[in-house]
Structure 1
Amino acid sequence: MPIPSPVPLPIRALAAACALAWVLAWALGAAGAARAQQADGPAATTYITEQYYPYSYTADGTVRGLSADLLRLVWRHMGVAEQPIQVQPWARAYEAGRTRPGTVVFGMARTPGRERLFKWACPIDTVRFALFARAADKARILVSADMKTLVVGTVRDDVAEAALLETARPVRIEPVADMELNLRKLDAGRLDLVAYEARSMPRLLRSLGRDPAGYAEVIPLSETDTCYAFHRDTADEVVARFQRALDAVRAGPEYARLRRLYLE
């Protein structure tokens, strides 16, 4: 078998040069992509929220609410065109925010247990969670000798559910996908209590055709900020740019207008 002739040195050098050029081109392309992500990140992001009146909800096919309208003001401040907003059950939205790069989930309550799972732009608002009962049942629940007999409805994986677990109250928790189902179960006597944001509860009840006077806050749970939670692989500059815009909008008159519109 003939012995192959050695590759002449100039050819080997040319091959090495080509390989080096390819590596440099790849590195420059990756750097360019990173710079593009930093520059255009808010426009190349998937935004997900839940039905949580009056912070985010669907009306006539459009996602409205304090959190959603504030997001639109932030986009406008950054010069970013309005982006689609997806509405998903909270457990699904939360999982997407943890596992899918390029995702922002709002309004996410910022808690110690979630701190390292996301990058944060805060706050949308400061919220307070509590347990509510039918007004006619409040006295019975407050003097209940056996908390283990009480059944509490929560939104699955919501911070109110986590806050309830952290209190170590010996109640039975029944999580569901949305608050409207919890209220139907409460009205039917299948739940003793429901967990929700305290200031929002009267507005939620009115939006569903219920009289807020028929319900009462029974037990406070926790208070925290709600935020825009970015997937943890998001470039820091993307989050910082968003935070600067959020700070600017919250300092202006339009944020105060949104609060009056949705919370007062």
Structure 2
Amino acid sequence: MPRETAAVMPKLMKAATSSLLVLMLSAMGSAALAAERLYIFTEHYPPYNASVSGKGFAHNEDDITGICSDMVKAALSRVGYDYVMKMRAWSYAYDWVQGRENHGLFCTARTEERENLFQWVGPLASIKWTLFAAPDSDITLDSLEDAKELQIAGYKGDVMSEYLVNQGFNVAKGMSGDVNTRRLMLGQADLWVTDGLVGPLVAEQEHGITGLKPVLVFRETPMYLALSKNTDPAIVADLQRALDDARAAGELDAIEARYE
């Protein structure tokens, strides 16, 4: 081997080793960033969560708005985690998030039945569990028990619908709540169970129907960002601190005021 070549070889080996080390560190850094990425899901449930397009799905945060959506964004803006926010059907997202690391779902009603299924960040807003009748209905209720013999429209995975089913009520569950106003108007259901704000808003925006009759409010629950049990508790704690800071700064009150 010529002396010139022998002299150059150690330098080439050193450079190759350095390049390999840089690639390895870069790969490790990319893996770390990927591990800290959060995958946040929601549903079309105005005014709490809504797609800008009005459709029941969205692929990024810029296409998602609403009271809870803006609150979650306010918290996420205060932490350094990369995240993806998507809108999907509730039943799909609810099942998808559970068991997956760094996955979350909002606005999720925090109930005893769900308490041990998630880690919780909140509260965000609260929902009023309301039974609505069609504008021309003469149904009146003094108590929830009075609705026992009536057909109630709900949807799969909805906390209010599931509660009524478990209590022995007659609930017809679709894949989403968007069509339930029409079911009332067509006489396919006597009542519709939904939130007190959501019902009239969806009825008017989706179907041009006004005058829904709220016949009974039977419960109220807080809503949260629900994170999977597989998510690092340190991430959950970071998000809770960020939400608390946003609330202390008046951001959450300002968000609610924008939707009044």
TM range (shorter): 0.7 to 0.9
User: Which letter does structure 1 place at the counterpart of 2:254?
Assistant: R
Aligned residue for 2:70?
69
From the superposition, tell whether residues 206 and 147 of structure 1 become closer, same or farther in structure 2 (CA, over 3 Å). Answer: closer
Whether contact under 8 Å (1:163, 1:221) holds in the other structure is no
**Where is the helix percentage greater, Structure 1 or Structure 2?**
1
Given the alignment of the two structures, is residue 50 of structure 1 paired with residue 43 of structure 2, yes or no? yes
Residue 180 (structure 2) aligned to one of 174, 179, 182: 182
From the superposition, tell whether residues 72 and 140 of structure 1 become closer, same or farther in structure 2 (CA, over 3 Å). Answer: closer
Three-state SS of the structure 2 residue aligned to 1:223 is: strand
User: Which letter does structure 1 place at the counterpart of 2:85?
Assistant: I
Aligned residue for 2:224?
227
Supply the distance in 2 between the matched residues of 1:257 and 1:55 (Cα, whole angstroms): 14
From the superposition, tell whether residues 204 and 251 of structure 1 become closer, same or farther in structure 2 (CA, over 3 Å). Answer: farther
Question: Which digits, 9 at most, give the CA deviation of each residue in 1:67-86, with x for residues without a partner?
Answer: 211122112112445x3311
Aligned residue for 1:203?
201
Percent identity of paired positions between Structure 1 and Structure 2: 26
Supply the distance in 1 between the matched residues of 2:188 and 2:207 (Cα, whole angstroms): 20
Question: Which digits, 9 at most, give the CA deviation of each residue in 1:223-255, with x for residues without a partner?
Answer: 111001111021111100000001111222322
Supply the distance in 2 between the matched residues of 1:119 and 1:177 (Cα, whole angstroms): 25
From the superposition, tell whether residues 146 and 119 of structure 1 become closer, same or farther in structure 2 (CA, over 3 Å). Answer: closer
User: Which letter does structure 2 place at the counterpart of 1:77?
Assistant: R
Supply the distance in 1 between the matched residues of 2:68 and 2:146 (Cα, whole angstroms): 39
Supply the distance in 2 between the matched residues of 1:244 and 1:191 (Cα, whole angstroms): 44
Given the alignment of the two structures, is residue 158 of structure 1 paired with residue 151 of structure 2, yes or no? no
Q: CA deviation at 1:172?
A: 1.6
Supply the distance in 2 between the matched residues of 1:131 and 1:76 (Cα, whole angstroms): 36
Whether contact under 8 Å (2:100, 2:230) holds in the other structure is no
From the superposition, tell whether residues 148 and 224 of structure 1 become closer, same or farther in structure 2 (CA, over 3 Å). Answer: closer
Give me the TM-score of the superposition, normalised by structure 2: 0.77
From the superposition, tell whether residues 50 and 104 of structure 1 become closer, same or farther in structure 2 (CA, over 3 Å). Answer: same
Q: CA deviation at 1:91?
A: 1.1
Three-state SS of the structure 2 residue aligned to 1:77 is: coil
Aligned residue for 1:93?
93
Aligned residue for 1:242?
239
Supply the distance in 2 between the matched residues of 1:171 and 1:89 (Cα, whole angstroms): 24
Whether contact under 8 Å (1:249, 1:255) holds in the other structure is yes
Question: Which digits, 9 at most, give the CA deviation of each residue in 1:128-184, with x for residues without a partner?
Answer: 1111001321x33538x9855411111211111133235x3x542101122221111
Q: CA deviation at 1:98?
A: 1.6
User: Which letter does structure 2 place at the counterpart of 1:109?
Assistant: A
User: Which letter does structure 1 place at the counterpart of 2:50?
Assistant: Y
Given the alignment of the two structures, is residue 253 of structure 1 paired with residue 250 of structure 2, yes or no? yes
Supply the distance in 2 between the matched residues of 1:221 and 1:51 (Cα, whole angstroms): 23
Give me the TM-score of the superposition, normalised by structure 1: 0.75
Three-state SS of the structure 1 residue aligned to 2:70 is: helix
Residue segments in structure 2 that go unaligned for 5+ positions in a row: 1-27
From the superposition, tell whether residues 131 and 232 of structure 1 become closer, same or farther in structure 2 (CA, over 3 Å). Answer: same
Supply the distance in 1 between the matched residues of 2:139 and 2:70 (Cα, whole angstroms): 40
Supply the distance in 2 between the matched residues of 1:146 and 1:197 (Cα, whole angstroms): 19
Three-state SS of the structure 1 residue aligned to 2:72 is: helix
User: Which letter does structure 2 place at the counterpart of 1:113?
Assistant: E
Aligned residues: 224
User: Which letter does structure 1 place at the counterpart of 2:155?
Assistant: V
Supply the distance in 1 between the matched residues of 2:247 and 2:147 (Cα, whole angstroms): 41
Aligned residue for 1:103?
103
Three-state SS of the structure 2 residue aligned to 1:124 is: coil
